[in-house]
Amino acid sequence: MPDLTLDGRPLHVAAGTSVAAALALGGDGCSRTSVSGQRRAPLCGMGICQECRVSIDGRRRLACQTLCRDGMQVETRP
Amino acid sequence: MNEHANLLIIGAGPAGLSAALAAAPRAKRIVLLDDNPLPGGQIWRDGPQAKVPGQARRLREQVLACANVHWHSSTRVIANPAPNTLLLENAERGWQIDYDCVILCTGARELLLPFPGWTLPGVTGAGGLQALIKAGLPVRDQGIVIAGSGPLLLASAATAKSNGARVLRIAEQASPAAIASFAAQLPRWPHKLLQSISLFDRQYRSASHVLAALGRDRLEGVRLKQNGKVVEIACDRLACGFGLIPNIQLAQALGCAVERQAVAVDSWQATSQPCVYAAGECTGFGGSERALVEGAIAGHAAVGNRQAAQRLWHRRARWQGFANALNTAFALDPALKSLADSDTLVCRCEDVPYAALTGHSDWRQAKLASRCGMGACQGRICGAATEHLFGWQPSAPRPPFSPARIDTLLCLEHTRDA
Amino acid sequence: MSSTTAADVIVIGAGIIGAACAQSLAARGLRVLVLDAGLHGATAAGMGHLLVLDDNPAELALSQYSLQRWRELAPRLPEACAYRSNGTLWLAANAEEMAVAEHKFNVLQAQGVTCELVAGRAVRQREPALREGLEGGLLINDDGILYAPATAGWMLETTGIDQRRARVSAVEGNRVRLDSGQWLSAEAVVLANGIQAVDLCPELPIEPKKGHLLITDRYPGTVTHTLVELGYVTSAHNASGPSTACNIQPRPTGQLFIGASRQFGTTDPAVEGWMLARMLKRATEYMPDLANLNGIRAWTGFRAASPDGLPLVGRHPQQDGLWLAVGHEGLGVTTAPATADLLSAQLFDETPPLAACPYLPDRFLGALAHA
């Protein structure tokens, strides 16, 4: 049962939960802000659309293809 | 840190798993990789809210139990720097793998077409919603509308319902006649008939499609055209997918011939390139049963067991018939080409509106002039959409095939051909 | 072989050079027909770096004048052209390169180019992402960037310009033959199609110089100036074998362009992993954290290089009615307005705004053989 940090807030999720799901469990579900300022959330769920890219432990990665791990630092982009 | 595989299998869905199992008795070192954290592909995606069928669990366990099968999770193919060599990346590192033979089981993705409001949070693909729910997305008590085309709509609805969502409407664009004719053929595949009955939902409507996603900062409702009438439904989520398109980029990069937007294969599942096989949805939409058979044929053929491969041909033919019936029934209504308004964003990475694309003669010209397709998805979403909308042919893939850390690309330094 | 009079001037090539020439001629009231084969040449592939270069006095004169012209154009450029005057910071890795920076500083300052020497640690105050231990740098304040395909497109919207997608298969003085077999003629034909120019005029001493580029995902605020290593002048510019140099340009989108590589003797447009990696490695030597950023696309392009590194601008000495604006190598975007001014002035038999002599095609093609 991983404990992670989402935008500075602690979050506890079930084992096997993706970071994409964690965005909705611990926040408003959004992952990024688009070029023209729209808030965006995961779209394709399968590693294609890149809408769900967030910063995970300092690197930009896809939330939908990353499982939550203990101590993980996730930051969505304002 | 480079690696060698006698047989490399890219994609661990039904086709890839089946290929690995078939090849295992005769192959020395098999490497199976997938960009997802767990094997199973889209259809057998595992997770805290997934119900993976027993058949899938058993296959997965059998494959991973083979001592000569090496499994790389969350691993992407980034480049093909030299013949029989690929550059790979996972969360930690990049490395190269060389192989004697490769089986491409790269699957399919959803065709996502732009319509007003489709960029609102709360709008996902149909298969996309299913995948997100399986991986833990909470949907309990949420009102969900599912729209688009194909059997995936019902499957997505079933996953949503079993996790506590209220499915308010399933809008299938195909005509009642097309669906009836497809249903009439289903007894030829009794297993599929059973599946369809179990998935059936009384909110299912044919000849219906999305017009717009409504809401300011996130989705609040959806406007549908339902049998010619416009209806609006308040909802929390809209899951919208217009069928599947094969992932052929890697095959194209390896020089494999493509026919009807899928990897072309012969009866051994061999592509036009020596030592490159392909199986499953990347060779054309056909469902998991066909993918399993194709994977097994490819696996046997790749290790020279042609007898075993040939014994499976009749099963493949049977499931190919199902695939053909499916593709005919769910052919897309031309009306879906006019969903976007002039200000609807077509390219979601660069926020390029529909109006910026009209008037261009091809993909490259439109891309240069508007930035459409220049973003992180590399045109996977908007390129497929504009191919459907305007008939534009996206450009051939170039490395990096997916966004990759520069650190990973540095691994290519010593790959110059002699 | 009858030919149709198509316009006052036919320009072959709708890249930044052809577009600038067409705009300049149309602004003088000429009817201009621009023919382009749709091959997407160096304008589509390049970085759009606007920079003063001073390898020799002629290059400095051309780039300095042209940059001034870009600054004059800037207020009229639509936002899609992404013009920014963000400056170039030349990086000195060692004392030898710092001496080059100081020399460059003196030369440029004497010519009135705004620039400043940045010593030692001050480099990281300007660009915190750079590694520690650089010797210093030279900041050229008025250098800039733009998005060349959109800029060429904007230039071609000028009244008086017609555009046609067509491949030219032959040029004879003031006449061109299209792929369709049709001949078109005009008062003058301007050849501005980069490396493809040799297909029509094999006598031109132009060689393709392949370059790779990579663009990252959006990381706003990582870099402010265009960062170029001073080794560029020696390692990349003058070498005959494959070479790389650190060249990092922040785009207004927050993305980073990473270059640069040079290869002769190839026309294969494929992205070559080894070359891409060498180029990226060079960039990470200056900016180590680049390694953790995601690259999203890589591509290649071909610079049209002349033997002395200067373009060929002026009349073709052996073909009456044919004018050349080719061979700009990596400086086509920078020097497009200057090229257009030089060419227009010569076409109209006026005194050009800067001495035309160093760029005349005669230096390679021999003396004028027609009146």
Judge whether B365 is closer than 8 Å to chain A, CB to CB: no
Total structural domains within chain A: 1
| B374 at A interface, C-beta within 8 A | no
Q: C144-155: per-residue pLDDT in tens?
A: 999 999 999 999
- Number of residue pairs across B and C with CB atoms under 8 Å? 88
Q: Which two tokens stand for residue B226?
A: 């339902």
Q: Tell me how close the Cα of B398 comes to any Cα of chain C, in angstroms.
A: 7
**Considering chain C, what percentage of its residues have pLDDT values greater than 70?**
97
Fold of C88-141+208-305: D-Amino Acid Oxidase; Chain A, domain 2 (3.30.9)
What pLDDT was estimated at residue C75? 97
How many alpha carbons fall within 13 Å on the CB side of residue C368?
9
Write down the pLDDT at residue B418. Answer: 39
Residues in chain B: 418
DSSP B138-155: --TT-EEEEEEESTHHHH
Q: For C216-251, what is each residue's pLDDT tens digit?
A: 999 999 999 999 999 866 554 556 789 999 999 999
Against chain B, the chains showing at least 3 CB pairs within 8 Å are A, C
- The larger pLDDT score, comparing residue C240 to residue C266, is at C266
As a CATH number, domain C3-45+148-206+309-365 is 3.50.50.60
Residue C332 has pLDDT above 90, yes or no: yes
Question: What confidence score (pLDDT) does residue C150 get?
Answer: 95
- Closest by CA position to C208, among listed C219, C218, C194, C225: C194
pLDDT-based confidence at residue B392 (cuts at 50, 70, 90): very high
- The 3-state secondary structure of C145-188, one letter per residue: ECCHHHHHHHHCCCCCEEEEECCEEEEECCEEEECCCCEEECCE
Cα–Cα distance measured from residue B405 to residue C216, given in angstroms and rounded to the nearest whole number: 9
Between A and C, how many residue pairs show a Cβ–Cβ distance under 8 A? 8
Of C153, C281, C294, the CB nearest to B369: C153
What was the pLDDT predicted at B417? Answer: 62
User: Could you tell me the CA-to-CA distances from B86 to B269, B314, C163 in Å, in that order?
Assistant: 21, 34, 43
Residue of A nearest to C252 (CA): A35
Instruction: Tell me whether A58 touches chain C (CB under 8 Å).
Output: yes
- Contact yes or no for A60 and C253 at CB 8 A: no
- Domains of chain B by start residue, with CATH: 3-109+245-326 (3.50.50.60), 112-242 (3.50.50.60), 340-418 (no CATH)
Torsion, Cα of B246, B250, B251, B254 (10° steps): 170
For B159-196, the pLDDT digits (tens) are: 999 999 999 999 999 999 888 888 888 888 777 766 77
* Residue C23 distance to chain B (closest CA, Å): 18
Query: Best mutation site among A51, A60, A65 for testing chain C: the one with the most C CBs within 10 Å?
Result: A60
Which tens digits make up the pLDDT trace of B65-103?
999 999 999 999 999 999 999 999 999 999 999 999 999
Looking at residue C371, its pLDDT comes to 56
CATH number for the domain spanning A47: value is 3.10.20.30
- CA dihedral (B249, B255, B261, B267) in degrees, to 10, reads -120
Hey, is the C-beta of C293 within 8 angstroms of any chain A C-beta? Answer: yes
Domain ranges of chain C: 3-45+148-206+309-365, 88-141+208-305
Question: In this predicted model, what pLDDT tens digit does every residue of A6-59 receive, in sequence order?
Answer: 999 999 999 999 999 999 999 999 999 999 999 999 999 999 999 999 999 999
Q: Could you tell me the residue range of the domain that residue A49 belongs to? A: 3-75
For residue B5, give the H/E element and its range. Answer: strand B3-10
Contact A59 C292 (CB under 8 A): yes
Residues of C in contact with B368 (CB under 8 A): 40, 44, 149
> Which one of B409, B415, B416, B417 would you mutate to disrupt binding with C, by most C Cβ within 10 Å of its Cβ?
B409
Q: Which of B81, B364, B368 shows the shortest C-beta gap to C273?
A: B81
Inform me whether the pLDDT recorded for B367 exceeds 70.
yes
Whole-number Cα distances in Å, C19 to B132, C8, C59: 49, 15, 21
The residue among C352 and B326 whose pLDDT is bigger is C352
CA distance C49 to C59: 15
CA B418 from centre of chain:
37
What does C290-331 look like in DSSP terms, one character per residue? GGGSEEEEEEEEEEEE-TTS--EEEE-TTSTTEEEEE--GGG
Asked if A12 has any chain B CB less than 8 Å from its own CB, the reply is: no
**B199 pLDDT above the threshold of 90:** no
Reported as a single tens digit per residue, the pLDDT across C58-90 is 999 999 999 999 999 999 999 999 999 999 999
State whether residue B208 is helix, strand or coil: strand
| DSSP3 helix / strand / coil % (chain B, rounded to 5) | 35, 25, 40
Contact C256, C248 (CB under 8 A): yes
Substitution target from C218, C255, C290 for chain A, most A beta carbons within 10 A: C218
| DSSP type of residue C236 | I
Tell me which chain B residues have a C-beta less than 8 angstroms from the C-beta of C278. 413
Closest approach of C258 to chain B, Cα-based (Å):
10
Tell me what the mean pLDDT of segment B142-162 comes to.
Answer: 96
